[in-house]
Structure 1
Amino acid sequence: MRVSYEWLKEMVDLSGIDADELAEGLTRTGVAVDAVEDRNPGVHRVVVGRVKSVEPHPGAERLRVCRVDVGQEELLQIVCGAPNVAEGQLVPVALEGAELPGGVRIKRVKLRGVESQGMICSAGELGLPEKMLPKELTEGILVLTEEAKVGRDVRSLLGMDDKVLELDLTPNRSDCLSMIGVAYETAAVFDRSLHLPEPKELPATGGELPVSVAVESGADCPVYAAQAVDGLRVGPSPQWMQNRLMAAGIRPINNIVDVTNYVMLEYGQPLHAFDYDRISGGRILVRRARQGERLETLDGVIRECNPDDILITDGDKPLGLAGVMGGANSEVTGATTRVLIESACFDPVLIRRTSRRLGLRSEASNRFEKGVDRSRIVPALKRAVQLLVEVAGGRVASPIVLEKSGEVEERIIPVRHRRIVSLLGAEIREEEVMDIFRRLRFSVEKEESVYHVRVPSRRNDLSIEVDIIEEVARLYGYNRIPAASLQGSQGRGGLTREQQLRRTIRHTLRHLGMNEAVTYSLTSPQMEKGLSLHPDARPIPLSMPLSDERSVLRTGLLPHLLQSAAYNVHRRQERVALFEIGRVYLAEEQPLTDLPEERWELAGLWTGPMGPVHWRGQTASDFYRVKGILEALFARLGIGSAKFFPARPKGFHPGRTAEIRIDGRFAGILGQIHPRISDEMDLKETFAFQLDMEVLQDAAKTDLRFRPIPRHPASTRDLAIVVDADVPAAEVEKAIRKAAGEHLESVTLFDVYTGEQVGNEKKSLAYSLVYRAEDRTLTDEEVAKFHQAVVDELERAFGARLRA
């Protein structure tokens, strides 16, 4: 919000307070002022002059010799090259010794033998922002309106003696999106008097024009007011109005449109002017748009509407997108003589939704989507009609027609004085609190030590006790609140079991050579590729996605990890090892009738070599190495019951994938990404895993204990057996542990062989077995006994024979 200091001075007594002090005071109390802009770009000694005569230059075809009255005893002779200079015009004249933006100084000079005693200026030469001016005022010299007085300083005429405060408002302070709102704030901060405009409803003096208003849904449009004005003459608005609009960053268009923008800035209430003659019978119907209904807006773009949009219609055709932008078919033009002025409020959620969907932001939508003050809707309409009569020669042609549903409930908030003192930590007296409420213009009834504060409708950001206390704090002065140490009992901080588990997993996988990734929770249906632990889950679509690539909630973590891997590989990072801990969102029905299930999962992938470049070569990633990473993670978490079984899930290689079970529960998937998917992503062989964090959490040990270093030596025996090719090595290891007894310390499979030496459909498994007792050194006879028991059990269970 850009606030004109000179305009604000008309509403608030600012005597003794300059613009910089005003900015400091507002910022100190919570309304941040980003900058104070001086509207004078460096103009001095430039006055209003009237061109008395224009004659051709005797020595130059394109130059003119003008005689100009600037309020001095004698006319000035000025040579001008602008093609639009003409007798009788009021123009800005830079006198001898004048300064213009860019360090230009005006001197008395001779141009082609003719003396020039000054310069007639263009808008650009005065430093006026040309994008804020109508095109006709930016070509050639600047022609001033007839309200200008000869000899007057141009700076005051064009508002260059003003300063503009750039407010950086937080979303809750929509009350300061108007000059009146800023005036209330300023008066409260500096405890000054207010002088606000008080418009009156003018009687109808023109021909009575029929106006009717109907609203289909009071929830969409709680208040709609309209009034007709005829006898209008479209033209430029007065210079003072143009100055204030340009100071606020709004380009003047014509007196009718400028009035609606001016009142919007003044009251914070957006208005719209319809050409009355282009409305069927003066009828207004506010309704929801039909699917596919089209409307050409004022910017010349044809917009396709949907049922979330509110339309202003005349019962037959749309006239405008409510709260966003008017329609081209009812636009005010140079031929307009009768208008219908609209002042209303609309559902902020629908306005925000329409504005965002169409990418159509406007000053009106910015205010409507934050909520306007309903008490100002009719006063703003009266003010606009009053100004149209003054600046456009209009006549009131109808009474105010008001369609209203329900009343705004009065908000009375009880505030305890002891609560104020407790939160502020300052011994503020009750008299000081009451004085602050007076400055804020809040009506208060005090009962013992409780203030019953009646919140004005302009402050829709105040709803609970602490909101009022914050108002007291900022007007009391944050700098007056003493600093104090924290008091009270403090508990010892710590991590929950879930947080500790996630931290342990992160540290472990990083130490094992992997990098953590954080990817989007939003994805596209095409990215899912079936890579999920929950194949029946259906991606949940967003109602208003930012893009097609972020249109559904993910059901798995692997798709985005694959995308990240491809991104790195395409940038010459051959070795990529990533993991992520994140939520997935699961639903088995569409549309949703209940909240989706959110589950924490762990996923990781590895593609490329397992280690850095070495003179002995690089080790390629494969199923067993990634399986080893998971086994190391399980060991760190104290999970000793993880089992791997062959599996063929969607999206994985059918012969290189395993299902993981922990304590008999399905825990996840480990395997190679299907070559088709790898090829699509331009990746080499890629191995990945997905784990359910809930299963890990239930199985993880929180009280891991470490055994001391053994005091007695171990005995090692190797065992090579031949079994059928379809016998799982894990089952053989299970049988070995069962038969060897309690003194078996470890079993390691160190060789697998298939070939002619062991026979068809056979394989050789070689194990290293380590035996140790904690209390003594085992004898050879004891170890031989344990070992023979293992051989006997393997022969019985699998028909195994020792390999020669």
Structure 2
Amino acid sequence: MLVSYDWISEYVDLTGITPEMIADELNRTGIEVEVIYTRDNGVSHVVVGHVLSVEKHPEADKLNITQVDVGSSEPLQIVCGAANVAAGQLVPVAIKGANLPGGIKIKDTKLRGVASRGMICSAKELGIPDKFLTEHQKQGILVLGRDAVIGQDIKEHLGMNDQVVELELTPNRSDCLSMMGVAYELSAIFNRELRLPERTEAISSTEKTRVEITTDLEEDCPFYAVQVVKGIQVGPSPQWLQNRLISAGIRPINNVVDVTNYVMIETGQPLHAFDLQTIPTGEIVVRRSRAGETVVTLDGVTRALDDETLLITDGEQILGLAGVMGGESSEVRSHTTTVLLESAYFDPTLICRASRKLGLRSEASNRFEKGIDPERILPALSGAVQLLQEVAGAQIGSDVIVERSGEIEEVTVSLRHDRLMKVLGTSISEEQVGDIFRRLNFSAHFDAEKKVYHVQVPTRRPDIQLEVDLIEEVARIYGYDRIPTTLPWGQQQPGRLTDSQRLRRKLRHLLIDLGLSEVLTYSLTSSKRGKEVGSLTPSTGLVRLAMPMSSEHAVLRTTLLPELIQTAVYNVKHGNEDLAIFEMSKVYVTQEKKLTELPEERLELAFLLTGDLRSARWNRQALPGGDFYVAKGIVQAIFERIGVANVEIQAASHHEGFHPGRTAELIYNGEVLGVLGQMHPQLAKQQDLKDTVVVQLDLERLQQAIQADVRYQAIPRFPAVTRDLALVVDKNVEAGVLEAGIHEVAGELLESVRLFDVFIGSQVGEGKMSIAYSLVYRAADRTLTDAEVTATHSKVVEHLQTTLGAVLRS
């Protein structure tokens, strides 16, 4: 919102208050000020001149010699090269000593032998942005209106002395999207008199043009008012009106459109003017659009509509998009003589949705979608009609025609005085609070017995609905800087991490210590990429976005791996081929093909290794990251660090996107905690990746598997006995099965089992492998004898021979 200092000064007494002081106080009370600037662009010594005569330069075809009256004792002779200069014009003239934007200084000179004592300026030379100019004004010198006064400072005539305060408003402060709203705010802050303009009732006409109004759905448009204005002479607005609009950042167009924009900025109520001659039915129908309909808006763009856009029609043709932009067919043009002025309230949700879908935002939609003040609908219409009488010679063609449903509900909010002081942590007297409500123009009644204020909230402040909102208003106007800093009191409980947060912190620190880097990727992916790698939780449906920005971000991810893979692809293509990355985030799973309930959100950990985890040096070999056993070691380090024991690692071949022979599931108590495996060679080839290993873990199941109690044991007092066991078994026998058999028979005497050798070759037979373990036996209460160890060890060998066909290797 751009606030003109000259304009706002008409509504609030700002004597002795500078724009800088306004900015400081607004910032202090919760409204951010972006910038303050003056519109003069550094222009000085430029006045209004009257071109008396124009003659061709004798030495140059494109130059003219002009005589210009600038209010001095004699006219100035100025050589001008603009093609549109003509006698009788009022123009801006830069006289000797003038400064123009860009560091240009004006002095007396000669052009082709003819003296020139100044310069007739174009709009560009005065620093006026093109967006505020018509195509005609962009060509040649700037021709001023007939209301310009000869010799007047051009900055005064064009309002360039005005200072503008730019506000950055939060969505809840829609009341400050108007000069009146800002005036209420400044009146309260500075405790100055508020003097809003009073509009007299428009003069009625004996001719009454009748317009019928029909609204399909009352909730879409509960208030719609129009009035016919005739006898209009469309033309440029007076300079004061143009100056006000430019200060507000709006380009002047013609007096009819300018009046609607002026009233919108003044009151916050958007208006629209239809050329009544383009409405042959004499009827206004407010309805929803139908899929497939199109409309050409005022910007000349043909827009396709869905079935949720609110339209203004005449029952047959579309006149405009309600609350967003008018249609080209009903535009006010130079030959228009009769207009239908519209002032209405539209459902903010519909306007916001239409503006977003069509990619079309306007000053009107910005206000409608935040909610307007219903109390200003009719006064704004009346004010616009009166202004049209002043600036366009208009006459009243009908009474105000209104179609409305229901009445405006009064909102009363109560505020307990003791609650106010408790929340603010300071003492404010009842008289001070009452005075603050008076300054805010809130009608408040204080119940002295119950110490409660009953405040009737004005309709211009829809953001005030609760007691805490009134507390905030009191604090703002009282002054946040006057409220002392106090420590909180009452029963205190120190904060701590939740179990889930503690687990994630442990995992993050461990993985970083192991050489992995954390990444954060989008929760949105494509449906194709989401199916390349299977989810831990099989789902039958995808969670699709209603309005995706692109096909690459159309569904919520069901696994973290696709985006990790894309991160790896991006890095490899940019020369970073050694990657070890991980991510902890949420995935979204549903069992529904068509979503009717919110998806399940599950927290997962995934990591990816490719290239070298550790590069080669003169004294060590490289550690390949894309190795199944390196990833397995990281997973086992995770289990050991967080206290998860007895996790089985079982071969698996059914997971989408994984190598069928180099993939394993991590099983705890019969439940799958995660998947560990090499990426499928075909998928890796498609992505131009080398051997790549990926892991995904369900952190919620992992959390449940963590042992609640940490158990300690004493350092062994008695020696251990180590026996090696070398077996020849079928190549398909899993090492985990062998280890489970060893533990089953050896019982409590077995302290640990360590695999130290695997051999496959002709020496052990076709389809066979040699696998060797180191077994450590120890008793907690005695030194084991050879006989005890030999007996237990023999039972282990016998069991493995019987159950798995193992043979001792000779």
Q: Do they superpose with TM above 0.5? A: yes
Q: What TM-score, normalized by structure 2, do the two folds share?
A: 0.95
Match of 1:608 among 611, 615, 628: 611
Match of 2:92, SS state, is strand
Distance in structure 2 (CA, Å) of the matches to 1:687 and 1:112: 81
Distance in structure 1 (CA, Å) of the matches to 2:188 and 2:643: 65
Distance in structure 2 (CA, Å) of the matches to 1:117 and 1:724: 108
RMSD: 2.0
1:68 pairs with 2:74 = no
Equivalent residue, structure 2, for 1:320: 320
Equivalent residue, structure 2, for 1:5: 5
Equivalent residue, structure 1, for 2:427: 427
Closer/same/farther in 2, CA of residues 54 and 761 from structure 1, 3 Å limit: closer
Closer/same/farther in 2, CA of residues 99 and 763 from structure 1, 3 Å limit: closer
Match of 2:461, SS state, is coil
Deviation of the 1:709 alpha carbon: 4.1
Distance in structure 1 (CA, Å) of the matches to 2:536 and 2:97: 82
Q: Deviations over 1:22-51 (max 9, x none)?
A: 222222222222222112222333222222
Larger mean CA deviation between 788-797 and 459-468 belongs to: 788-797
Equivalent residue, structure 2, for 1:637: 642
Closer/same/farther in 2, CA of residues 281 and 762 from structure 1, 3 Å limit: same
Match of 1:452 among 439, 451, 454: 454
Deviation of the 1:94 alpha carbon: 2.8
Deviation of the 1:364 alpha carbon: 1.4
Distance in structure 2 (CA, Å) of the matches to 1:735 and 1:369: 71
After superposition, residues 757-796 of structure 1 pair within 5 angstroms as 757-796=763-802
Q: Deviations over 1:526-575 (max 9, x none)?
A: 22125212333411112222332222111111111111111122122222
Distance in structure 2 (CA, Å) of the matches to 1:115 and 1:206: 62
- Counting matched residue pairs gives 804
What fraction of aligned residue pairs are identical, expressed as a percent?
A: 56
Closer/same/farther in 2, CA of residues 649 and 111 from structure 1, 3 Å limit: closer
Closer/same/farther in 2, CA of residues 77 and 753 from structure 1, 3 Å limit: closer
1:466 pairs with 2:471 = no
Deviation of the 1:473 alpha carbon: 0.7
Equivalent residue, structure 2, for 1:479: 481
Closer/same/farther in 2, CA of residues 619 and 206 from structure 1, 3 Å limit: farther
Equivalent residue, structure 1, for 2:755: 749
After superposition, residues 637-786 of structure 1 pair within 5 angstroms as 637-647=642-652, 648-786=654-792
Equivalent residue, structure 1, for 2:622: 618
Deviation of the 1:637 alpha carbon: 2.5
Deviation of the 1:457 alpha carbon: 0.5
After superposition, residues 21-420 of structure 1 pair within 5 angstroms as 21-205=21-205, 207-420=207-420
Larger mean CA deviation between 327-336 and 53-62 belongs to: 53-62
Deviation of the 1:390 alpha carbon: 1.4
Distance in structure 1 (CA, Å) of the matches to 2:735 and 2:60: 105
Closer/same/farther in 2, CA of residues 398 and 613 from structure 1, 3 Å limit: farther
Match of 2:125, SS state, is coil
Match of 1:78, SS state, is strand
Q: Deviations over 1:451-507 (max 9, x none)?
A: 001110111111111111111111111121112233333212222222222222222
Distance in structure 1 (CA, Å) of the matches to 2:114 and 2:733: 113
5+ unaligned residues in a row in structure 2: which ranges? none
Deviation of the 1:159 alpha carbon: 0.2
Q: Deviations over 1:351-403 (max 9, x none)?
A: 22222222222111111111111111111111112111211122221222222
Closer/same/farther in 2, CA of residues 778 and 252 from structure 1, 3 Å limit: same
Letter in 1 for 2:516: M
Match of 1:541, SS state, is coil
Closer/same/farther in 2, CA of residues 731 and 115 from structure 1, 3 Å limit: closer
Distance in structure 1 (CA, Å) of the matches to 2:789 and 2:658: 44
Does the CA contact (< 8 Å) of 1:206 and 1:230 recur in 2? no
Equivalent residue, structure 1, for 2:803: 797
Distance in structure 1 (CA, Å) of the matches to 2:629 and 2:354: 54
Distance in structure 2 (CA, Å) of the matches to 1:659 and 1:20: 67
Does the CA contact (< 8 Å) of 1:442 and 1:456 recur in 2? yes
Does the CA contact (< 8 Å) of 2:741 and 2:800 recur in 1? yes
Deviation of the 1:431 alpha carbon: 0.3
Match of 1:610, SS state, is strand
Q: Deviations over 1:581-636 (max 9, x none)?
A: 22111222243332221112222222223322334543433223322221222222
Q: What TM-score, normalized by structure 1, do the two folds share?
A: 0.96
Does the CA contact (< 8 Å) of 1:772 and 1:778 recur in 2? yes
5+ unaligned residues in a row in structure 1: which ranges? none
Closer/same/farther in 2, CA of residues 80 and 784 from structure 1, 3 Å limit: same
1:555 pairs with 2:555 = no
Deviation of the 1:271 alpha carbon: 1.4
Q: Deviations over 1:223-264 (max 9, x none)?
A: 221122222122111100111111111111111111111111
Deviation of the 1:74 alpha carbon: 3.0
Distance in structure 2 (CA, Å) of the matches to 1:73 and 1:508: 88
Letter in 1 for 2:640: A
Distance in structure 2 (CA, Å) of the matches to 1:80 and 1:673: 77
Distance in structure 1 (CA, Å) of the matches to 2:103 and 2:501: 65
Match of 1:636, SS state, is helix
Match of 2:33, SS state, is strand
Letter in 1 for 2:433: V
Q: Deviations over 1:70-128 (max 9, x none)?
A: 33343333332222121211122233333333444433444444433333222222222
Letter in 2 for 1:710: P
Does the CA contact (< 8 Å) of 1:538 and 1:555 recur in 2? no
Closer/same/farther in 2, CA of residues 108 and 601 from structure 1, 3 Å limit: closer
Distance in structure 2 (CA, Å) of the matches to 1:510 and 1:70: 77
Match of 2:119, SS state, is strand
Q: Deviations over 1:711-745 (max 9, x none)?
A: 44322111112233343322221111122231211
Does the CA contact (< 8 Å) of 1:662 and 1:695 recur in 2? no
